[in-house]
Amino acid sequence: MQAFARAVLAVLLAHLSADFPLQPDSILQAKKNGFDGYLAHGAIHLVTVIVALELFTNLAVWSWYPLLLVLGYVASHPVLDYLRQAYLKTRHLQDSTGPFVVDQALHVVTAVGLAWAITGVTVRSLIGAAHWSEELRWRILLLAVTYTAVIFAGGYLVRSMTRSLTEDMPAPEGEDKAALHNAGL
């Protein structure tokens, strides 16, 4: 089970690294103009996922089967990116939160799928791992309370502290004054 969790985290680290800090604007622009950007982006994903799996797992990445799985995972990434761009283009939509979240969710599913396939974890072992120890329950509870307090309660605090600043502020061009109601949240 630990091998699966490590593999998921390693592949997610590779994905996040390749999609955000290692994807310069030039590749983003190249993806809009043709397939060269997708190929470059796929190459970055290939390198990052192999490096992450080598560094953080004990998996035999260089065997033919795991390497084939990695290549399939890497190939799926530019395909998903292309489908997202094609969807936005055919619908004449601007890139927005919805398509971004769907795209990233699909990438996470492929990352988990790669980890599942490469480690050979069984459903039975996943079900067995679902029985949390008291220490794990404590840590999850502590994390949930901390996250909720910082993100939500902290957001309300910032909103209440900045409310007097936004009351006299004109609405940004093309937006409703009501949008300023949650400024800081």
Q: What is the pLDDT of residues 171-180, one digit of tens each?
A: 666 666 665 5
Q: What is the CA radius of gyration of the chain?
A: 21
- Return d(Cα 70, Cα 47) in angstroms, integer: 10
| Most confident among 88-97, 125-134, 137-146 (mean pLDDT) | 137-146
> What pLDDT is recorded for position 181?
61
Distances (CA, A) of 116 to 1, 36, 87, 135: 10, 30, 29, 26
Query: Which residues, other chains included, contact 166 with Cβ-Cβ below 8 Å and sequence gap of 6+?
Result: 180, 181, 183, 184
Percentage of residues in the chain having pLDDT higher than 70:
89
pLDDT tens digits, one per residue of 63-109: 999 999 999 999 999 999 999 988 988 988 887 788 888 999 999 99
Task: Supply the pTM of this predicted model.
Answer: 0.69
Amino acid identity for residue 6 in this structure: R
